[in-house]
Amino acid sequence: MIYTKILGTGSYLPEKILTNFELEKMVDTTNEWIVERTGIHERRIAASNETAATMAEQAAKQAMLAAGISARDLDMIIVATTTPEKVFPSTACLLQQRFGIANCAAFDLNSAACSGFIYGLSIADQFIRNGNAKHILLIGSEVMSSIVDWTDRTTCILFGDGAGAVVLGPSDAPGVICTRLHADGNHKDILSLSSQEKNAKPCIKMAGNSVFKLAVNMLGDLFDETLAAAHLKKSDIHWLVPHQANIRIIQSMAKKLELPMERVTITLDKQGNTSSASIPLALDQAVRTRQIKRGEILMLEAFGGGLAWGSALLKF
């Protein structure tokens, strides 16, 4: 039996830091409100010459170095992003050009929004398990600052830019134990990329409180479903690696899994919500600081626009 293993992780963050105090000068908000309601203190903002592709390249190089492979060894590149440089060519194809390779499949996953990395992991897992691919580079890369309405205090305080990557490969032992994907388009209006007026730049529109309540309910059920599918118990989980949207949602998920917060990867205080990049960024940080170790069981979860949500349970 073939399992999918994470062979290496990597990440990239732009240099520019935007603090809550700077946001106080831009919109009617306060550092106290943002910290108390979200847990975010600051976020990174891409420079004008940085794109989803340039950030993905940096994160991917780290992940391939950690995995001990080169770009020529890749069978597939999947980039999860809602903020690609272009709709086509895909960010994944732009990466092929940057790496000087041609002999692998390459595509973007644009539409699963914040759940893009989990959706990508589930797709990659199928290709590796059935023997159709050996090495897959999976990246979440986002320039959320390019789709934020900087006059809307209800959303502009939440998001940040960055990229996280993993290299996946085959193994005789788990690996990815199971993934679960969900979507419900009936909630299409509470979180979307829309233009306020005709011809205006599309920006994130969100009924935050509605998303919050749905996320807490959906993710709670998702944990039960994922554990049942994997024939595991809550006490088998060593780490929760959640999508970094709101510290109160994360705390409630940790409680649901009966995990102390020391066993939850947190990056949103310094990075905000980086959409599809948030899970691989958090994973890479925890791996590089030697918090997450080989052999430990991880629960990954995400939710976002669609609504689309999903989980992955894996042995690192």
What does the binding site for ligand UT7 look like in residue numbers (CB under 6 A)? 29, 33, 37-38, 114, 153-154, 157, 208-209, 211-212, 215, 245-246, 273, 304
Residues in the chain: 316
Omega prior to 116 cis, within 30 of 0: no
Minimum gap (Å) between residue 134 Cβ and ligand UT7: 32
Q: Which is nearer to ligand UT7, 43 or 315 (CB)?
A: 43
Distance CA 143, CA 199 (A): 21
30: which DSSP letter?
A: -
- Does 178 qualify as catalytic in the annotation? no
Active site residue 187: no
243 is catalytic: yes
Buried b (16+ CB within 10 A) or exposed e, 83-117: bbbeeeebbbbbbbeebebeebebbbbbebbbbbb
Rank residues 97 and 209 by Cβ distance to ligand UT7 and give the closer one: 209
In this complex, which beta carbon is closest to ligand UT7, that of residue 30 or of residue 195?
A: 30
- 55, 105, 53, 109: which is closest to 81 by C-alpha? 109
In the complex, what is the shortest distance from the CB of residue 304 to ligand UT7, in angstroms, rounded to a whole number?
A: 4
Residue 23 C-beta: closest distance to ligand UT7, Å: 8
Interstrand relation of 16-19 and 297-304 (parallel, antiparallel or unpaired): unpaired
| Residue nearer to ligand UT7 on the CB measure, 79 or 206 | 206
- Among the options 93, 114, 178, 203, which is catalytic? 114
What minimum distance in Å lies between the beta carbon of 39 and ligand UT7? Answer: 9
Indicate which residues carry an active-site annotation.
114, 243, 273
